[in-house]
Chains A and B, each alone.
Chain A
Amino acid sequence: MREDYEVIIGLEVHAELATHTKIYCNCTTEFGSDPNTHCCPICTGMPGTLPVLNEKVVEYAVKAGLATNCEIARFSKQDRKNYFYPDLPKAYQISQYDLPLCKDGHMDVTVEGKQGNYKKRIGITRIHIEEDAAKLIHDAYTGDTLVDMNRCAVPLIEIVSEPDMRSAEEAVAYMQTLKSILEYLEVSDCKMQEGSLRCDVNLSVRKKGETKFGTRTETKNLNSFRAIYNLIEFEANRQIEELEKGGVIYQETRRFDDVKGIGYAMRSKEDANDYRYFPEPDLAPIVLSEEYIADIQNHLPEMPHIKKERYVQMYELPEYDAEQLTNSKKIANFFEETITHWNNPKAIANWIMGDIFRKLNEAEIEIDACPIKPKDMAKLVELLDKGVISSKIAKQVFEEMFESGKSPEKIVEEKGLVQISDESAIKEIVTKVVENNPQSVVDYKAGKDRALGFLVGQVMKETKGKANPKMVNEMLLEILNQS
Protein backbone atom coordinates (compact mmCIF):
# COMPACT_ATOMS: atom_id res chain seq x y z
CA MET A 1 0.00 0.00 0.00
CA ARG A 2 1.14 3.57 -0.71
CA GLU A 3 2.86 5.37 2.14
CA ASP A 4 1.05 8.67 1.57
CA TYR A 5 -2.37 7.19 2.33
CA GLU A 6 -3.96 6.09 5.58
CA VAL A 7 -6.58 3.36 5.81
CA ILE A 8 -9.42 3.61 8.34
CA ILE A 9 -11.02 0.36 9.46
CA GLY A 10 -13.94 -0.49 11.71
CA LEU A 11 -15.27 -4.02 12.25
CA GLU A 12 -18.76 -5.32 12.95
CA VAL A 13 -18.42 -8.81 14.36
CA HIS A 14 -21.30 -11.26 14.69
CA ALA A 15 -20.88 -14.11 17.18
CA GLU A 16 -23.47 -16.86 17.54
CA LEU A 17 -24.04 -17.45 21.24
CA ALA A 18 -23.45 -20.92 22.68
CA THR A 19 -26.92 -21.25 24.19
CA HIS A 20 -28.79 -24.56 23.97
CA THR A 21 -31.93 -22.96 22.55
CA LYS A 22 -32.80 -20.18 20.15
CA ILE A 23 -33.32 -16.61 21.28
CA TYR A 24 -37.16 -16.56 21.50
CA CYS A 25 -38.24 -20.24 21.47
CA ASN A 26 -37.14 -23.64 22.81
CA CYS A 27 -35.88 -25.04 19.49
CA THR A 28 -32.31 -26.33 19.67
CA THR A 29 -29.40 -24.34 18.19
CA GLU A 30 -27.49 -27.50 17.24
CA PHE A 31 -25.50 -27.13 14.02
CA GLY A 32 -25.52 -29.45 11.02
CA SER A 33 -28.92 -31.20 11.19
CA ASP A 34 -31.37 -31.83 8.36
CA PRO A 35 -32.89 -28.60 7.02
CA ASN A 36 -35.99 -27.22 8.76
CA THR A 37 -36.00 -29.78 11.58
CA HIS A 38 -35.21 -27.22 14.33
CA CYS A 39 -38.19 -25.02 13.70
CA CYS A 40 -41.47 -24.05 15.36
CA PRO A 41 -44.15 -21.43 14.72
CA ILE A 42 -42.20 -18.80 16.72
CA CYS A 43 -38.87 -19.01 14.86
CA THR A 44 -40.57 -19.32 11.46
CA GLY A 45 -42.57 -16.17 12.01
CA MET A 46 -46.10 -17.58 12.08
CA PRO A 47 -48.77 -14.98 12.85
CA GLY A 48 -50.08 -14.92 16.41
CA THR A 49 -47.00 -16.31 18.11
CA LEU A 50 -45.30 -14.65 21.07
CA PRO A 51 -41.49 -14.58 21.45
CA VAL A 52 -40.01 -14.90 24.96
CA LEU A 53 -36.38 -13.93 25.52
CA ASN A 54 -33.85 -16.61 26.55
CA GLU A 55 -32.29 -15.45 29.85
CA LYS A 56 -28.86 -16.85 28.87
CA VAL A 57 -28.71 -14.47 25.90
CA VAL A 58 -28.75 -11.49 28.26
CA GLU A 59 -26.21 -13.11 30.58
CA TYR A 60 -23.79 -13.95 27.74
CA ALA A 61 -24.04 -10.49 26.19
CA VAL A 62 -23.37 -8.86 29.57
CA LYS A 63 -20.36 -11.16 30.06
CA ALA A 64 -18.97 -10.10 26.68
CA GLY A 65 -19.62 -6.45 27.57
CA LEU A 66 -17.88 -6.63 30.94
CA ALA A 67 -14.88 -8.49 29.49
CA THR A 68 -14.45 -5.71 26.91
CA ASN A 69 -14.76 -2.88 29.45
CA CYS A 70 -18.23 -1.78 28.30
CA GLU A 71 -20.81 0.14 30.25
CA ILE A 72 -23.80 -2.14 30.84
CA ALA A 73 -27.23 -0.61 30.26
CA ARG A 74 -29.49 -0.72 33.32
CA PHE A 75 -32.42 -0.24 30.94
CA SER A 76 -32.43 -1.72 27.47
CA LYS A 77 -35.02 -2.72 24.86
CA GLN A 78 -35.37 -4.62 21.61
CA ASP A 79 -36.47 -3.23 18.25
CA ARG A 80 -37.68 -4.44 14.88
CA LYS A 81 -35.38 -3.94 11.93
CA ASN A 82 -37.54 -4.23 8.86
CA TYR A 83 -36.34 -5.63 5.58
CA PHE A 84 -37.88 -7.89 3.00
CA TYR A 85 -35.73 -10.86 2.07
CA PRO A 86 -36.39 -14.64 2.03
CA ASP A 87 -33.86 -15.31 4.83
CA LEU A 88 -36.22 -13.55 7.24
CA PRO A 89 -39.64 -15.21 7.56
CA LYS A 90 -41.10 -12.40 9.69
CA ALA A 91 -39.80 -9.73 7.25
CA TYR A 92 -38.10 -8.12 10.24
CA GLN A 93 -35.17 -9.02 12.45
CA ILE A 94 -35.45 -8.44 16.17
CA SER A 95 -32.36 -6.45 17.14
CA GLN A 96 -31.51 -3.46 19.34
CA TYR A 97 -31.48 0.07 17.99
CA ASP A 98 -31.01 3.00 20.34
CA LEU A 99 -30.60 1.21 23.69
CA PRO A 100 -28.07 -1.63 23.26
CA LEU A 101 -27.13 -3.82 26.24
CA CYS A 102 -23.48 -2.68 26.25
CA LYS A 103 -21.63 0.40 25.01
CA ASP A 104 -18.40 2.43 25.20
CA GLY A 105 -15.88 -0.36 25.79
CA HIS A 106 -12.37 -1.08 24.56
CA MET A 107 -9.82 -3.84 24.10
CA ASP A 108 -6.02 -3.68 24.26
CA VAL A 109 -4.45 -5.75 21.50
CA THR A 110 -0.90 -6.73 20.58
CA VAL A 111 -0.26 -6.06 16.90
CA GLU A 112 2.37 -7.94 14.91
CA GLY A 113 3.53 -4.96 12.89
CA LYS A 114 6.02 -5.00 10.05
CA GLN A 115 8.55 -3.24 12.32
CA GLY A 116 7.89 -5.42 15.38
CA ASN A 117 5.11 -5.83 17.92
CA TYR A 118 3.25 -2.95 19.53
CA LYS A 119 0.18 -2.50 21.74
CA LYS A 120 -2.92 -0.60 20.73
CA ARG A 121 -6.26 0.21 22.35
CA ILE A 122 -9.31 -0.27 20.08
CA GLY A 123 -12.63 1.28 21.08
CA ILE A 124 -15.87 -0.70 21.13
CA THR A 125 -18.91 1.37 20.25
CA ARG A 126 -21.57 -1.12 21.32
CA ILE A 127 -22.61 -4.74 21.77
CA HIS A 128 -26.23 -5.65 21.15
CA ILE A 129 -28.29 -8.84 20.97
CA GLU A 130 -30.19 -9.97 17.87
CA GLU A 131 -31.41 -13.03 15.98
CA ASP A 132 -29.68 -14.80 13.10
CA ALA A 133 -31.40 -15.29 9.73
CA ALA A 134 -32.16 -18.42 7.67
CA LYS A 135 -29.57 -20.06 5.46
CA LEU A 136 -30.17 -19.65 1.72
CA ILE A 137 -28.77 -22.32 -0.58
CA HIS A 138 -28.65 -21.89 -4.33
CA ASP A 139 -29.77 -24.93 -6.27
CA ALA A 140 -27.77 -24.85 -9.49
CA TYR A 141 -29.96 -27.55 -11.06
CA THR A 142 -33.39 -25.95 -10.65
CA GLY A 143 -32.15 -22.36 -10.41
CA ASP A 144 -34.23 -21.86 -7.26
CA THR A 145 -33.08 -20.74 -3.85
CA LEU A 146 -33.70 -23.16 -0.96
CA VAL A 147 -34.54 -21.79 2.49
CA ASP A 148 -33.33 -23.67 5.59
CA MET A 149 -34.70 -22.04 8.75
CA ASN A 150 -32.71 -24.04 11.33
CA ARG A 151 -30.46 -21.02 11.83
CA CYS A 152 -33.41 -18.60 12.07
CA ALA A 153 -33.43 -16.95 15.51
CA VAL A 154 -30.18 -18.47 16.74
CA PRO A 155 -28.97 -15.78 19.17
CA LEU A 156 -26.18 -13.44 18.10
CA ILE A 157 -24.26 -10.62 19.62
CA GLU A 158 -23.03 -7.93 17.29
CA ILE A 159 -19.85 -6.21 18.47
CA VAL A 160 -19.25 -2.89 16.73
CA SER A 161 -15.79 -1.33 16.94
CA GLU A 162 -14.79 2.30 16.59
CA PRO A 163 -12.98 3.13 13.32
CA ASP A 164 -9.69 2.85 15.21
CA MET A 165 -7.72 0.38 13.10
CA ARG A 166 -5.16 1.57 10.56
CA SER A 167 -3.89 -1.63 8.93
CA ALA A 168 -4.80 -5.23 8.11
CA GLU A 169 -2.47 -6.32 10.93
CA GLU A 170 -4.39 -4.24 13.47
CA ALA A 171 -7.74 -5.56 12.28
CA VAL A 172 -6.53 -9.17 12.50
CA ALA A 173 -5.05 -8.56 15.98
CA TYR A 174 -8.40 -7.10 17.11
CA MET A 175 -10.30 -10.06 15.71
CA GLN A 176 -7.92 -12.59 17.29
CA THR A 177 -8.15 -10.92 20.69
CA LEU A 178 -11.93 -10.73 20.50
CA LYS A 179 -12.17 -14.40 19.48
CA SER A 180 -9.92 -15.42 22.34
CA ILE A 181 -11.99 -13.40 24.87
CA LEU A 182 -15.29 -14.88 23.64
CA GLU A 183 -13.79 -18.38 23.85
CA TYR A 184 -12.52 -17.76 27.38
CA LEU A 185 -15.98 -16.56 28.39
CA GLU A 186 -17.50 -19.65 26.72
CA VAL A 187 -20.26 -17.47 25.28
CA SER A 188 -19.56 -18.54 21.67
CA ASP A 189 -17.75 -21.49 20.13
CA CYS A 190 -16.25 -19.06 17.58
CA LYS A 191 -15.98 -21.58 14.74
CA MET A 192 -15.23 -19.29 11.87
CA GLN A 193 -15.56 -21.98 9.17
CA GLU A 194 -19.07 -22.81 10.39
CA GLY A 195 -19.94 -19.13 10.44
CA SER A 196 -20.50 -18.86 14.18
CA LEU A 197 -18.00 -15.96 14.18
CA ARG A 198 -18.00 -13.66 11.17
CA CYS A 199 -17.08 -10.12 10.43
CA ASP A 200 -18.06 -7.15 8.26
CA VAL A 201 -15.28 -4.71 7.39
CA ASN A 202 -15.97 -0.98 7.04
CA LEU A 203 -13.09 0.66 5.23
CA SER A 204 -12.16 4.06 3.86
CA VAL A 205 -8.88 5.70 2.88
CA ARG A 206 -7.56 9.27 3.08
CA LYS A 207 -4.35 11.15 2.34
CA LYS A 208 -2.12 11.30 5.42
CA GLY A 209 -2.70 14.55 7.31
CA GLU A 210 -6.31 14.79 6.16
CA THR A 211 -8.73 14.95 9.13
CA LYS A 212 -12.00 14.19 7.35
CA PHE A 213 -12.92 10.53 6.75
CA GLY A 214 -13.30 9.35 3.16
CA THR A 215 -16.39 7.51 1.89
CA ARG A 216 -16.47 4.00 3.31
CA THR A 217 -17.51 0.68 1.86
CA GLU A 218 -18.78 -2.28 3.83
CA THR A 219 -17.63 -5.81 2.91
CA LYS A 220 -19.88 -8.48 4.40
CA ASN A 221 -19.37 -11.88 5.97
CA LEU A 222 -15.66 -12.59 6.14
CA ASN A 223 -15.04 -15.85 7.95
CA SER A 224 -11.31 -16.30 8.35
CA PHE A 225 -8.40 -14.16 9.56
CA ARG A 226 -6.76 -14.63 6.18
CA ALA A 227 -9.85 -13.39 4.34
CA ILE A 228 -10.00 -10.29 6.58
CA TYR A 229 -6.32 -9.57 5.94
CA ASN A 230 -6.56 -10.11 2.18
CA LEU A 231 -9.78 -8.11 1.82
CA ILE A 232 -8.29 -5.11 3.64
CA GLU A 233 -5.20 -5.09 1.43
CA PHE A 234 -7.37 -5.48 -1.67
CA GLU A 235 -9.98 -2.87 -0.77
CA ALA A 236 -7.50 -0.25 0.45
CA ASN A 237 -5.52 -0.54 -2.77
CA ARG A 238 -8.67 -0.46 -4.87
CA GLN A 239 -9.89 2.74 -3.22
CA ILE A 240 -6.48 4.45 -3.50
CA GLU A 241 -6.16 3.56 -7.18
CA GLU A 242 -9.68 4.81 -7.82
CA LEU A 243 -8.98 8.15 -6.10
CA GLU A 244 -5.60 8.52 -7.82
CA LYS A 245 -7.20 8.27 -11.24
CA GLY A 246 -9.72 10.91 -10.23
CA GLY A 247 -12.60 8.55 -9.51
CA VAL A 248 -15.02 8.51 -6.58
CA ILE A 249 -15.73 5.91 -3.91
CA TYR A 250 -19.38 4.94 -3.58
CA GLN A 251 -20.84 4.02 -0.24
CA GLU A 252 -21.79 0.45 -1.08
CA THR A 253 -22.06 -3.08 0.26
CA ARG A 254 -19.48 -5.46 -1.15
CA ARG A 255 -18.49 -9.10 -1.10
CA PHE A 256 -15.04 -10.65 -1.20
CA ASP A 257 -14.07 -13.86 -2.92
CA ASP A 258 -11.07 -15.03 -0.92
CA VAL A 259 -10.19 -17.81 -3.35
CA LYS A 260 -9.91 -15.40 -6.28
CA GLY A 261 -8.75 -12.52 -4.06
CA ILE A 262 -11.30 -10.16 -5.62
CA GLY A 263 -13.94 -7.96 -4.02
CA TYR A 264 -17.03 -6.79 -5.87
CA ALA A 265 -20.04 -4.57 -5.26
CA MET A 266 -23.30 -6.36 -4.55
CA ARG A 267 -26.25 -5.62 -6.75
CA SER A 268 -27.37 -2.14 -5.85
CA LYS A 269 -29.86 -2.03 -3.01
CA GLU A 270 -30.27 1.71 -2.78
CA ASP A 271 -33.18 1.48 -0.36
CA ALA A 272 -31.80 -1.34 1.75
CA ASN A 273 -30.57 0.93 4.50
CA ASP A 274 -34.02 2.20 5.36
CA TYR A 275 -34.82 -0.31 8.09
CA ARG A 276 -37.64 1.68 9.72
CA TYR A 277 -36.72 0.53 13.23
CA PHE A 278 -39.40 0.65 15.86
CA PRO A 279 -39.71 -0.78 19.42
CA GLU A 280 -40.63 -4.48 19.48
CA PRO A 281 -44.12 -4.56 21.02
CA ASP A 282 -44.01 -8.30 21.84
CA LEU A 283 -40.97 -8.11 24.12
CA ALA A 284 -40.62 -6.43 27.49
CA PRO A 285 -37.76 -4.04 28.34
CA ILE A 286 -34.65 -5.53 29.98
CA VAL A 287 -33.89 -3.94 33.34
CA LEU A 288 -30.67 -5.09 35.03
CA SER A 289 -29.94 -4.60 38.72
CA GLU A 290 -26.59 -3.70 40.22
CA GLU A 291 -26.53 -7.13 41.92
CA TYR A 292 -27.10 -8.95 38.63
CA ILE A 293 -24.23 -7.14 36.92
CA ALA A 294 -21.91 -7.45 39.95
CA ASP A 295 -22.60 -11.16 40.16
CA ILE A 296 -21.57 -11.69 36.52
CA GLN A 297 -18.53 -9.45 37.00
CA ASN A 298 -17.43 -11.50 40.03
CA HIS A 299 -17.73 -14.78 38.14
CA LEU A 300 -15.86 -13.79 34.98
CA PRO A 301 -13.09 -16.30 34.21
CA GLU A 302 -9.45 -15.24 34.11
CA MET A 303 -8.95 -13.33 30.84
CA PRO A 304 -6.13 -14.27 28.42
CA HIS A 305 -3.90 -11.24 29.09
CA ILE A 306 -4.14 -11.75 32.89
CA LYS A 307 -3.42 -15.46 32.51
CA LYS A 308 -0.44 -14.65 30.34
CA GLU A 309 1.06 -12.42 33.03
CA ARG A 310 0.45 -15.09 35.64
CA TYR A 311 2.31 -17.66 33.51
CA VAL A 312 5.29 -15.31 33.29
CA GLN A 313 5.24 -14.69 37.07
CA MET A 314 4.31 -18.11 38.43
CA TYR A 315 5.94 -20.48 35.96
CA GLU A 316 8.79 -18.18 34.89
CA LEU A 317 7.92 -18.71 31.24
CA PRO A 318 9.18 -16.31 28.58
CA GLU A 319 6.57 -13.77 27.42
CA TYR A 320 6.41 -15.44 24.02
CA ASP A 321 5.64 -18.88 25.48
CA ALA A 322 3.01 -17.41 27.81
CA GLU A 323 1.33 -15.73 24.85
CA GLN A 324 1.33 -18.90 22.75
CA LEU A 325 -0.16 -20.96 25.57
CA THR A 326 -2.89 -18.49 26.54
CA ASN A 327 -4.19 -17.44 23.10
CA SER A 328 -6.67 -20.25 23.25
CA LYS A 329 -8.39 -21.36 26.42
CA LYS A 330 -8.26 -25.00 25.31
CA ILE A 331 -4.48 -24.87 25.02
CA ALA A 332 -4.16 -23.10 28.38
CA ASN A 333 -6.37 -25.78 29.95
CA PHE A 334 -4.22 -28.53 28.43
CA PHE A 335 -1.05 -26.89 29.75
CA GLU A 336 -2.45 -26.30 33.23
CA GLU A 337 -3.70 -29.86 33.55
CA THR A 338 -0.39 -31.28 32.36
CA ILE A 339 1.67 -29.39 34.93
CA THR A 340 -0.55 -30.64 37.77
CA HIS A 341 0.75 -34.15 36.91
CA TRP A 342 4.44 -33.24 36.50
CA ASN A 343 5.80 -29.90 37.56
CA ASN A 344 8.17 -28.86 34.79
CA PRO A 345 6.34 -25.95 33.12
CA LYS A 346 9.10 -24.91 30.72
CA ALA A 347 9.69 -28.41 29.35
CA ILE A 348 5.94 -28.99 29.01
CA ALA A 349 5.50 -25.61 27.30
CA ASN A 350 8.20 -26.60 24.80
CA TRP A 351 6.52 -29.90 24.00
CA ILE A 352 3.13 -28.21 23.49
CA MET A 353 4.43 -25.35 21.34
CA GLY A 354 6.72 -27.62 19.35
CA ASP A 355 5.67 -31.20 18.79
CA ILE A 356 2.01 -30.95 19.79
CA PHE A 357 1.29 -27.85 17.68
CA ARG A 358 3.07 -29.47 14.73
CA LYS A 359 1.08 -32.70 15.00
CA LEU A 360 -2.23 -30.85 15.49
CA ASN A 361 -1.52 -28.76 12.41
CA GLU A 362 -0.69 -31.82 10.33
CA ALA A 363 -3.83 -33.61 11.50
CA GLU A 364 -5.89 -30.38 11.22
CA ILE A 365 -7.45 -30.91 14.63
CA GLU A 366 -7.79 -28.80 17.76
CA ILE A 367 -6.11 -29.63 21.04
CA ASP A 368 -9.29 -31.01 22.64
CA ALA A 369 -9.18 -33.78 20.00
CA CYS A 370 -5.48 -34.48 20.63
CA PRO A 371 -4.92 -38.25 21.08
CA ILE A 372 -2.33 -37.47 23.76
CA LYS A 373 -4.00 -36.58 27.04
CA PRO A 374 -2.41 -34.17 29.57
CA LYS A 375 -1.70 -37.00 32.06
CA ASP A 376 0.29 -38.95 29.43
CA MET A 377 2.09 -35.84 28.21
CA ALA A 378 3.17 -35.21 31.81
CA LYS A 379 4.32 -38.82 32.14
CA LEU A 380 6.49 -38.56 29.05
CA VAL A 381 8.26 -35.49 30.43
CA GLU A 382 8.61 -37.24 33.78
CA LEU A 383 10.25 -40.31 32.15
CA LEU A 384 12.63 -38.00 30.36
CA ASP A 385 13.43 -35.88 33.42
CA LYS A 386 14.10 -38.99 35.52
CA GLY A 387 16.47 -40.33 32.88
CA VAL A 388 14.36 -43.43 32.19
CA ILE A 389 14.41 -42.58 28.48
CA SER A 390 16.72 -40.40 26.40
CA SER A 391 15.46 -37.31 24.59
CA LYS A 392 15.85 -39.05 21.27
CA ILE A 393 13.71 -41.96 22.44
CA ALA A 394 11.22 -39.48 23.92
CA LYS A 395 10.57 -38.06 20.44
CA GLN A 396 9.99 -41.55 19.14
CA VAL A 397 7.62 -42.37 22.02
CA PHE A 398 5.78 -39.09 21.42
CA GLU A 399 5.09 -39.97 17.77
CA GLU A 400 3.82 -43.39 18.84
CA MET A 401 1.62 -41.83 21.55
CA PHE A 402 0.05 -39.50 18.98
CA GLU A 403 -0.61 -42.39 16.58
CA SER A 404 -1.95 -44.91 19.06
CA GLY A 405 -3.09 -42.88 22.07
CA LYS A 406 -1.20 -45.35 24.28
CA SER A 407 0.47 -44.26 27.52
CA PRO A 408 4.22 -43.60 27.35
CA GLU A 409 5.01 -46.26 30.02
CA LYS A 410 3.26 -48.85 27.94
CA ILE A 411 5.10 -47.92 24.75
CA VAL A 412 8.46 -47.83 26.53
CA GLU A 413 7.79 -51.22 28.09
CA GLU A 414 6.43 -52.88 24.94
CA LYS A 415 9.31 -51.71 22.77
CA GLY A 416 12.03 -52.08 25.42
CA LEU A 417 13.04 -48.44 25.12
CA VAL A 418 14.24 -47.94 28.67
CA GLN A 419 17.45 -45.94 28.71
CA ILE A 420 20.54 -47.87 29.64
CA SER A 421 21.97 -46.20 32.72
CA ASP A 422 23.74 -49.28 33.96
CA GLU A 423 27.36 -48.17 34.21
CA SER A 424 29.00 -51.51 33.47
CA ALA A 425 26.75 -52.14 30.44
CA ILE A 426 27.57 -48.78 28.92
CA LYS A 427 31.24 -49.10 29.76
CA GLU A 428 31.42 -52.36 27.84
CA ILE A 429 29.96 -50.81 24.70
CA VAL A 430 32.06 -47.66 24.97
CA THR A 431 35.23 -49.72 25.27
CA LYS A 432 34.26 -51.78 22.25
CA VAL A 433 33.53 -48.69 20.15
CA VAL A 434 36.90 -47.12 21.09
CA GLU A 435 38.74 -50.32 20.14
CA ASN A 436 36.96 -50.58 16.79
CA ASN A 437 37.66 -46.98 15.79
CA PRO A 438 41.37 -46.32 16.33
CA GLN A 439 41.45 -43.58 13.68
CA SER A 440 38.88 -41.53 15.60
CA VAL A 441 40.96 -41.83 18.74
CA VAL A 442 43.98 -40.48 16.84
CA ASP A 443 41.86 -37.66 15.39
CA TYR A 444 40.59 -36.75 18.82
CA LYS A 445 44.08 -36.57 20.23
CA ALA A 446 45.07 -34.37 17.29
CA GLY A 447 42.44 -31.92 18.50
CA LYS A 448 39.59 -32.77 16.15
CA ASP A 449 36.56 -32.40 18.42
CA ARG A 450 34.27 -33.81 15.78
CA ALA A 451 35.79 -37.23 16.42
CA LEU A 452 34.18 -37.28 19.87
CA GLY A 453 30.76 -36.68 18.35
CA PHE A 454 31.34 -39.53 15.94
CA LEU A 455 32.21 -41.91 18.77
CA VAL A 456 29.13 -40.86 20.78
CA GLY A 457 27.07 -41.52 17.68
CA GLN A 458 28.54 -45.01 17.34
CA VAL A 459 27.67 -45.85 20.94
CA MET A 460 24.11 -44.61 20.45
CA LYS A 461 23.84 -46.68 17.30
CA GLU A 462 25.00 -49.80 19.14
CA THR A 463 22.42 -49.20 21.87
CA LYS A 464 19.62 -48.13 19.46
CA GLY A 465 19.59 -44.72 21.12
CA LYS A 466 18.95 -46.08 24.56
CA ALA A 467 22.24 -45.24 26.27
CA ASN A 468 22.20 -42.32 28.68
CA PRO A 469 24.04 -39.73 26.54
CA LYS A 470 25.49 -37.89 29.52
CA MET A 471 27.08 -41.07 30.83
CA VAL A 472 28.37 -42.00 27.38
CA ASN A 473 30.03 -38.62 27.03
CA GLU A 474 31.69 -38.81 30.43
CA MET A 475 32.98 -42.33 29.92
CA LEU A 476 34.31 -41.63 26.45
CA LEU A 477 36.21 -38.60 27.67
CA GLU A 478 37.60 -40.59 30.55
CA ILE A 479 38.91 -43.35 28.28
CA LEU A 480 40.22 -41.02 25.56
CA ASN A 481 42.00 -38.75 27.98
CA GLN A 482 43.79 -41.54 29.85
CA SER A 483 44.85 -43.69 26.94
Chain B
Amino acid sequence: MSVSKEEVKYIARLSKLYLTEEELEKNTHDLSSIIDFANELSSICVDNVKPTAHILDIQNVFRKDEVEPSYEREKILQNAPTKDAGCITVPKVVE
Protein backbone atom coordinates (compact mmCIF):
# COMPACT_ATOMS: atom_id res chain seq x y z
CA MET B 1 0.00 0.00 0.00
CA SER B 2 1.50 3.36 -1.01
CA VAL B 3 -0.97 5.22 1.24
CA SER B 4 -1.31 4.36 4.92
CA LYS B 5 -4.57 4.16 6.85
CA GLU B 6 -3.33 7.05 9.00
CA GLU B 7 -2.92 9.25 5.94
CA VAL B 8 -6.41 8.45 4.73
CA LYS B 9 -7.82 9.26 8.18
CA TYR B 10 -5.97 12.60 8.10
CA ILE B 11 -7.22 13.50 4.62
CA ALA B 12 -10.76 12.54 5.65
CA ARG B 13 -10.53 14.78 8.68
CA LEU B 14 -9.43 17.75 6.56
CA SER B 15 -12.53 17.19 4.42
CA LYS B 16 -14.76 16.74 7.48
CA LEU B 17 -15.52 13.15 6.44
CA TYR B 18 -16.06 10.41 8.99
CA LEU B 19 -15.26 6.93 7.65
CA THR B 20 -16.26 3.59 9.14
CA GLU B 21 -13.53 0.96 9.54
CA GLU B 22 -14.85 -0.74 6.42
CA GLU B 23 -14.85 2.50 4.37
CA LEU B 24 -11.35 3.25 5.63
CA GLU B 25 -10.09 -0.12 4.33
CA LYS B 26 -11.72 0.41 0.95
CA ASN B 27 -10.52 4.01 0.57
CA THR B 28 -6.98 3.14 1.57
CA HIS B 29 -6.95 0.44 -1.09
CA ASP B 30 -8.54 2.64 -3.78
CA LEU B 31 -6.40 5.70 -3.06
CA SER B 32 -3.27 3.53 -3.12
CA SER B 33 -4.01 2.22 -6.56
CA ILE B 34 -4.77 5.74 -7.82
CA ILE B 35 -1.47 7.05 -6.40
CA ASP B 36 0.43 4.07 -7.85
CA PHE B 37 -1.08 4.75 -11.24
CA ALA B 38 -0.22 8.46 -11.09
CA ASN B 39 3.28 7.64 -9.83
CA GLU B 40 4.09 6.00 -13.13
CA LEU B 41 4.60 9.58 -14.36
CA SER B 42 7.59 9.86 -12.03
CA SER B 43 9.54 7.48 -14.24
CA ILE B 44 9.57 10.05 -17.05
CA CYS B 45 12.61 12.33 -17.22
CA VAL B 46 11.46 15.99 -17.12
CA ASP B 47 14.86 17.67 -16.74
CA ASN B 48 14.36 19.93 -19.76
CA VAL B 49 10.63 20.48 -19.45
CA LYS B 50 9.24 23.81 -18.22
CA PRO B 51 6.82 23.46 -15.27
CA THR B 52 3.23 23.55 -16.48
CA ALA B 53 1.06 26.35 -15.09
CA HIS B 54 -1.88 25.51 -17.32
CA ILE B 55 -2.56 22.54 -19.58
CA LEU B 56 -3.64 24.76 -22.49
CA ASP B 57 -1.24 27.10 -24.20
CA ILE B 58 -3.12 30.23 -23.14
CA GLN B 59 -2.38 33.31 -21.03
CA ASN B 60 -4.02 36.57 -19.93
CA VAL B 61 -7.68 35.66 -20.12
CA PHE B 62 -9.30 38.76 -18.61
CA ARG B 63 -12.70 40.43 -18.44
CA LYS B 64 -13.66 44.09 -18.21
CA ASP B 65 -14.65 45.49 -14.80
CA GLU B 66 -18.29 46.11 -15.73
CA VAL B 67 -21.22 45.31 -13.44
CA GLU B 68 -23.99 43.03 -14.66
CA PRO B 69 -27.10 42.06 -12.69
CA SER B 70 -26.64 39.32 -10.11
CA TYR B 71 -29.10 36.44 -9.65
CA GLU B 72 -32.37 36.72 -7.77
CA ARG B 73 -31.77 35.74 -4.18
CA GLU B 74 -34.40 33.00 -4.32
CA LYS B 75 -32.48 31.34 -7.13
CA ILE B 76 -29.18 31.52 -5.27
CA LEU B 77 -30.73 30.00 -2.15
CA GLN B 78 -32.96 27.41 -3.82
CA ASN B 79 -30.58 24.49 -3.25
CA ALA B 80 -29.80 25.38 0.36
CA PRO B 81 -31.24 22.77 2.74
CA THR B 82 -31.86 25.41 5.45
CA LYS B 83 -32.19 29.16 5.22
CA ASP B 84 -33.28 32.12 7.32
CA ALA B 85 -33.45 35.91 6.83
CA GLY B 86 -32.17 35.69 3.27
CA CYS B 87 -29.15 33.64 4.31
CA ILE B 88 -28.06 30.02 4.14
CA THR B 89 -27.93 28.68 7.68
CA VAL B 90 -25.32 26.27 8.98
CA PRO B 91 -24.57 24.84 12.42
CA LYS B 92 -22.86 27.36 14.71
CA VAL B 93 -19.26 28.04 13.72
CA VAL B 94 -18.70 31.58 14.96
CA GLU B 95 -16.75 31.44 18.23
Q: Which residues of A contact B66 (CB under 8 A)?
A: 20-21, 26
Check A350 for interface membership: any CB of B closer than 8 A: no
A35 at the interface (CB under 8 A from B): yes
Let me know if A284 and B59 touch, CB within 8 A.
yes
Distance from B67 Cβ to chain A, minimum over Cβ atoms (Å): 5
A147 to B86, CA, bound (A): 9
Query: Closest CB of chain A to B26's CB: distance in Å?
Result: 22
Check B67–A85 contact: CB distance below 8 A. Answer: no
Known: A142-B84, A146-B84. A284 touches B67 (CB 8 A): no
Mask of B60-72 contacts with A, CB within 8 angstroms, 1/0: 1111111110110
**A82 proximity list for chain B (CB < 8 A):** 14
- Cβ A28 vs Cβ B62 within 8 A: no
For residue A143, CB closer than 8 A to chain B, the reply is yes
Q: Determine the distance from Cα of A78 to Cα of B85 in the docked complex, in whole angstroms.
A: 35
The reply to whether B70 and A40 contact each other, CB–CB distance below 8 Å, is yes
CB-CB contacts below 8 Å: A248-275 with B: 255, 266-267, 271, 274
A52→B61 contact, CB < 8 A: yes
Q: When chains A and B are docked, how far (Å) is the Cα of A82 from the Cα of B53?
A: 18
- Cα-based distance from A266 to B90 in the complex (angstroms): 20
Expressed in whole angstroms, the Cα–Cα distance for A26 and B62 within the complex equals 12
One of A146, A255, A285 near B87 (C-beta < 8 A): A146
Is A139 part of the binding interface, using a Cβ–Cβ cutoff of 8 Å? Answer: yes
Report the minimal beta-carbon distance from B77 to chain A, rounded to whole angstroms: 6
**Chain B: interface residue total (CB-CB under 8 A):** 39
Specify the main secondary structure of chain B where it touches its partner.
loop
A285-B95 Cα distance, complex, nearest whole Å: 38
Nearest chain A CB to B7 CB, angstrom units: 12
Question: Which listed segment binds B: A53-61, A207-215, A396-404?
Answer: A53-61
Q: Which of A145-180 contact B (CB under 8 A)?
A: 145-149
How many Å lie between the Cα of A86 and that of B63 in the bound state? 28
Q: Given that A54-B62, A84-B15 are known contacts, is A138 also in contact with B85, CB under 8 Å in the complex?
A: no
Is A19 close to B, CB under 8 A? yes
Q: Does the CB pair B89–A286 fall under 8 Å?
A: no
B63 surroundings in chain A (CB, below 8 A): 26, 52-55
Docked-complex contact B76 and A149, CB < 8 angstroms:
yes
Least CB separation from A148: chain B residue: B87
Task: List, sorted by A's number, 20 A–B pairs whose CB atoms are closer than 8 Å.
Answer: A20-B66, A26-B63, A26-B67, A34-B86, A41-B71, A54-B63, A75-B53, A77-B54, A83-B14, A145-B89, A145-B91, A146-B84, A146-B87, A146-B88, A147-B87, A267-B95, A271-B14, A274-B14, A284-B56, A284-B58
A residues with CB within 8 A of B: 19-21, 26-28, 34-41, 44, 52-56, 58, 75, 77, 82-86, 99, 136-139, 142-149, 255, 266-267, 271, 274, 276, 279, 281, 283-287
